[in-house]
């Protein structure tokens, strides 16, 4: 396996396992966007695909934890109404978006369309699901208002970006 070298502030770091998100130049992307960022073929022949659902511009803006946490809870249900075979949707540690992992392979346009429809549902939500100590490990850190503000901003930009396909 090839060893990738990443330049960090204080020198070089040898990375023996290639982490896809570390190979992307975060200074050259224009958020929001949907990007197919990887897939694996299982021994039984299934394909599992990972998508980057980027909401905010890396190193420029990030979502506060209360907003991204609320969006996570809302997306968890609503995106499954739009797409089948979802394995997981999880926030990125940098708080600029989410990773969507699903069984099978869909185009970025299909995923973007599903995300657009999902964000429309987020804007209509009256409450956040599973906001209690039994179903959530940090249930007090949620903001429906914040979630809807980011959803509105991202929705407008995604609709403009993907309008030719709708």
Distance CA(110)–CA(65), nearest Å, equals 28
Return the CATH number at 119. Answer: 3.30.1360.80
How would you write the pLDDT of the chain (166 residues) with one tens digit per residue? 344 555 444 456 555 667 777 778 888 999 999 999 999 999 999 999 999 999 999 999 999 999 999 999 999 999 999 999 999 999 999 999 999 999 999 999 999 999 999 999 999 999 999 999 999 999 999 999 999 999 999 999 999 998 855 4
Q: How many angstroms separate the first and last alpha carbons of the chain?
A: 41
39 is in an annotated binding site: no
- Residue 160 resides in a domain: yes
69 is in an annotated binding site: yes
In terms of residue numbers, what domain contains 36? 25-165
94 is in an annotated binding site: no
pTM of the entire predicted model: 0.87
- Residue 38 resides in a domain: yes
């Amino acid at each position: 396996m090839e060893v990738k070298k990443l330049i960090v502030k204080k020198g070089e770091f040898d990375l023996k396992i290639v982490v896809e998100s570390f190979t992307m130049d975060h200074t050259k992307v224009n958020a929001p966007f949907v990007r197919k960022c990887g897939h694996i073929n299982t021994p039984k022949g299934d394909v599992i695909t990972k998508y980057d659902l980027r909401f905010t511009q890396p190193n420029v803006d990030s979502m506060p934890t209360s907003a991204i946490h609320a969006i996570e809870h809302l997306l968890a249900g609503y995106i499954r109404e739009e797409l089948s075979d979802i394995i997981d949707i999880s926030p990125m540690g940098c708080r600029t978006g989410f990773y969507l992992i699903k069984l099978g392979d869909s185009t970025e346009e299909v995923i973007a369309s599903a995300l657009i429809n999902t964000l429309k549902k987020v804007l209509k939500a009256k409450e956040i699901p599973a906001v209690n100590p039994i179903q959530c490990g940090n249930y007090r850190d949620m903001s429906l208002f914040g979630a809807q503000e980011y959803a509105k901003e991202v929705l407008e930009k995604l609709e403009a970006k993907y309008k030719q396909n709708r």
